[in-house]
Chains A and B, each alone.
Chain A
Amino acid sequence: MKRLASIAFATAIALSLQGCSGWQSALDPKGPAASELAWLIWFFTGLCAVVWVLVMVALAMPLMMRSRQRAEPLVLDAGADNRKLRVVMTAVGLTAVILVGLTLVSFFANRTLAAIGSDVALTIRVTGHQWWWEVRYEDATPSRILTTANEIHIPAGEPVRLLLTSTDVIHSFWVPSLSGKLDLIPGHMNVLDIKADKPGVYRGQCAEFCGAQHANMGTFVIAEPRAKFDAWWNDQLQPAAAPMSDEAKAGENLFLKRPCVMCHKIGGTPAGGTVAPDLTHVASRQTLAAGTLTMSRGNLAAWIADPQGVKPGSHMPVVDLSGDELNAIVAYLEGLK
């Protein structure tokens, strides 16, 4: 068993070294909440490992000792049993003390987490959909309210409040390197405060099983310096860029004539659907289909031509397009920076 334990341990170490570069890892914290939680995870793990080793030692003891097998099952040594009783009672007492301690540690960690959002300036409403995220930036000025999808830009170093809800099934918002997860439940509104210490891109994904494409419901939190963030917001408020080439113009026309327009919105055009992601600045995003594909001309074409092949079960229908039509629409969307 010792050998096994050491093998398991060595494997664990080797594997954890390999994966620490992960950008979606609870052990790679990039914000105050995740840091607190990573500390908590290591503390609990360390303590639990000690307890486990002690129990294994206690289990191995009778096997190590070269004592004889008992002959008379009912003849017991009362003195020895009394000593054992004391040992067992002590162990139970220690267990209770450790558990009370862990309860308190966890309680105070919870308070630390709650304090992160004491001074929020920015509120973002995140609504879960099968299988993408609607992201709406709240502002006192209605014209500054901004709706986008799947990528959440935040100013680095500032706490941000996320209001989480859903319009269909239950989802869960989880960006492990920033914070623990919280569910998006239809009919409920949950509040999650996050903060990124430094600029960077932090990946997350839906953590509550939500149907066929639960596996492909990724999101990115993009933390930027305040000035860059403000500039981004202002850019996103602009209507969609007018198509530059003839092909792109044809693409816009096709987009508005074909079923695309039924679901998607493109600011500045008649397209006003709200059941699918807002495409006003779709080309400015890093990925397509909620983190399923990276943003590129080829992937845009693949996603439009065969959404059920890329993301089987997704609510994006196959629209019958000729090759030229597909190229035109892709050219148009590609220009929507």
Chain B
Amino acid sequence: MSSADLTSERDLPPEREASAKGDVAPERDGPRDTGMDDASLHRWLTRTWRTPPGIIGALSSVDHKVIARRYLITAFLFLCLGGLNAVVMRIQLSGPRRGLIGPDLYNQLFTMHGVTMMFLFAVPIVQATGIYLVPLMVGTRNIAFPRLNAFSYWVYVSGGLFAWVSFALSMAPDVGWFAYVPLSGPEYGPGKRADVWAQMITYTEVSSLAVAVATIVTIFKQRAPGMSLDKIPLYVWSLLVTSFVVVFAMPAVMITSTFLILDRLVGTHIFNPAEGGDALLFQHLFWFFGHPEVYIIFLPATGMVSAIIPAFARRPVFGHLGLVLSLIAVGFLSFGLWVHHMFATGLPKLGASFFTASSMMIAIPNGVQIFCWLATLWDGRPVIRTPLLFVFGFFFIFVIGGLTGVMLASVPLDLQVHDTYFVVAHFHYVLIGGAVFPLLGAAYFWFPKITGRMMSERLGRWHFWLALIGFNAAFFPMHIVGLWGMPRRVYTYPAELGWGNINLFITAGAVLFFLSFVLFAFNLIHGALKGAPAGDNPWDAGTLEWATSSPPPSYNFARIPVVTNVEPLWAEPQALPVATGLRADVRELLISTVAEAHPDIREKSATPSIWPLLAAIAVGGTFLYSIFTPWAIVWGAAPIAVTLIGWFWPKGDPEDEE
């Protein structure tokens, strides 16, 4: 951003809002960015917004970029752990009747693989990317509710530790990531394993709900002046829709896991058919969350694709409005398809047919997205760099996953392939093709912004081809072996069924795919240490995150940019117009109106605090204790109350005293 453009303030008379507040006494009014020279503004803002030094300071950080970096690294570690799980399972399945591991460990492994990938990797990493990028893309200084954001990270970490420490103690859940009753119920799931599942869900859902709320408020209220609804980048739209889906879907699974805990711990019989409960109720509740969950993972990835394609196609995305409407349509429709996970439970025929139709229908908005991206790429020759390669990989793989999804939507067809390796192939094509490949592309795309250095392009290409070949070698044959009758979640199979060779091939592909991630990890570390300096905008992209330096300063933007186009940097290639008037000595944000993004008021942003960590420890301890006794809720309430009181203790700001 240029410093020379101080005067081109648009739409924003900051003095007016200050006076509108009425009581801002001159002596309380500290230095503002208006008219301040760049060097002293930088000094002021750094002092105001930096994360305090020292360990306590680091643990108190509320900087969205710091939290997001921790989230990203933690989620990547969980990805590696989940991947290792998968490799061990694949070695066990590489031949018939192999004895590497027994059913007890195998069942824990596939449960931990699913739980880790869904709750500890996929959802956190897409939300973490949003935590990092959304405030930068909408041109604000920090995420809304920054302490809640910090809290969400600590709760997420404790949930992850809880699950993996349980695994190390051989008390990890062994009932599948879906944990159907009665298998996970008190009668057939002895020990604490199913309780670990239920409470781990609670941790991660609390954390993702917190992030969703912060993301929604950031997008609605903190957009840079001029960023009206039609100028919001598609990536930000995708996070907005995703966050709403989180808000409506996650409570369903929290209810599911809480009911399960109640059945197991308190002796309710909600899911016990012998006492008038119903085992199928669990599945309805679970999938009412479980299907939107897929879109919680997939929608942000479409946002990444919508961010990467324009940068390399060198034009704004074709059909911006259509893409926004598709995102919203997918968000709504995702709640109307959950029953297609339950076609084999023996539903009334008419009801099942309805869900066939609704499941087919969601392919239409997804088709709109695919066609609009293709149309964007048809304009001239795209610049082929690693991020775009991964987007091509996304098309190659995800379209197959989408089409097999159409096959699964058909009730009769689903009855043959449901719960077989065909479904395993399908959802890995959807989730790895639809989310992991875009995420890898996004990693190459935004890595320079986060670290200030480039990742190796050459290694990136090797990584891409290794991942593409390894993935398809591992997962394409699963379609076939599923049609040959191999069910999911079996720890072994007899030789006479003839599945041995194809499973050996799959295992080889899986190892190759795993190696591609080793290469990726090397490229990440190498890039962070020795990569070429990136500059502010290495891809010459158009959205606001590229306007600030790489890595961005703690305050993101020295002066809040004013947006005139959906690709502001392309519209104002010389220098972005800016809005001024924010205080430099306290953490102040510009709050704008929801639809038009007119500047509205100035608002304080929370300062660093250790209380979110302490609150997360209190909450985490309560959840952990609660798998042993319901009294944990009573005893845990006290420390939670203490930490929350500390967290929200009035600071004596003039505003608070009013």
Contact = CB atoms under 8 A, between A and B. Distances in A.
B374 A58 contact: yes
Contacts of A107: 353, 356
B400 A52 contact: yes
Nearest to A192: B346
B487 A84 contact: no
Given A41-B416, A61-B378, A74 B567 contact: yes
A125 interface: no
A8 B406 CA distance: 21
Nearest to A20: B484
17 contacts: A15-B480, A36-B412, A40-B410, A65-B381, A73-B315, A74-B316, A92-B368, A96-B364, A102-B406, A105-B410, A176-B416, A176-B485, A185-B345, A207-B344, A208-B344, A209-B180, A209-B489
A18 B364 contact: no
B374 A182 contact: no
A109 interface: yes
B381 A188 contact: no
Nearest to B472: A8
Given A37-B415, A185-B280, A313-B104, A95 B367 contact: yes
Interface residues on A, range: 35 or more
Given A74-B570, A99-B360, A209-B180, A41 B483 contact: yes
B375 interface: yes
B188 A95 contact: no
B77 interface: no
Instruction: Pick the 4 closest A-B CB pairs, nearest first.
Output: A180-B415, A187-B273, A215-B490, A106-B410
Contact of B382 (A41, A63, A77, A218): A63
B239 to A, nearest CB: 23
Contact of B104 (A164, A205, A215, A312): A312
Given A51-B403, A180-B415, A207-B419, A170 B183 contact: yes
B413 interface: yes
Contacts of B410: 40, 44, 102-103, 105-106, 109
Given A91-B371, A182-B346, A56 B489 contact: no
Interface stretch (A24-32, A260-268, A326-334): A24-32
Contacts of A174: 419, 485, 487
Given A69-B381, A70-B314, A215-B491, A181 B419 contact: yes
B561 to A, nearest CB: 17
Interface in B60-75: none
Interface string A170-190: 101010110111110111101
A183 B403 CA distance: 25
Interface string B165-176: 000000000011
Given A24-B497, A69-B381, 7 more contacts: A69-B380, A73-B314, A92-B367, A164-B346, A170-B279, A207-B420, A209-B176
A45 B407 contact: yes
A78 interface: no
A179 B412 CA distance: 10
A99 B410 CA distance: 10
Nearest to B502: A15
A62 interface: yes
Contact of A70 (B379, B420, B485, B501): B379
B484 A19 contact: yes
Contacts of B418: 180-181, 207
A214 B489 contact: yes
A95 B485 contact: no
B396 interface: yes
Interface in A282-337: 291, 312-313
A231 interface: no
B361 interface: yes
Nearest to A172: B344
B180 A22 contact: no
B606 interface: no
Interface string A57-87: 0110111011111110110110011001101
A12 interface: yes
A210 B353 contact: no
A176 B396 CA distance: 30
Contacts of B498: 18-19, 21-22
A274 interface: no
B378 A62 contact: yes
Contacts of A58: 374
Contacts of A25: 483-485
A172 B180 CA distance: 13
Contacts of B485: 22, 24-26, 174, 176-177, 203, 205
A1 B396 contact: yes
Given A15-B477, A21-B498, A209-B183, A41 B316 contact: no
B379 A80 contact: yes
B83 interface: no
Contact of B412 (A180, A187, A211): A180
Nearest to A74: B570
B632 interface: no
Interface string B414-440: 111111100000000000000000000
Contact of A170 (B180, B363, B404, B501): B180
Contacts of A130: 188
A58 B371 CA distance: 9
A206 interface: yes
B104 A73 contact: no
A275 interface: no
A24 B392 contact: no
B413 A106 contact: yes
B316 A84 contact: no
Interface string B157-190: 0000000000000000001100010110001100
Contacts of A179: 415
A26 B104 contact: no
Given A87-B375, A209-B183, A12 B477 contact: yes
Contacts of A177: 485
B303 to A, nearest CB: 19
A244 interface: no
A49 B468 CA distance: 19
Interface in B387-418: 392, 395-396, 399-400, 403-404, 406-407, 409-418
Interface string A1-27: 100100010011001101101111111
A213 interface: yes
B416 A55 contact: no
Given A4-B469, A11-B477, A48 B378 contact: no
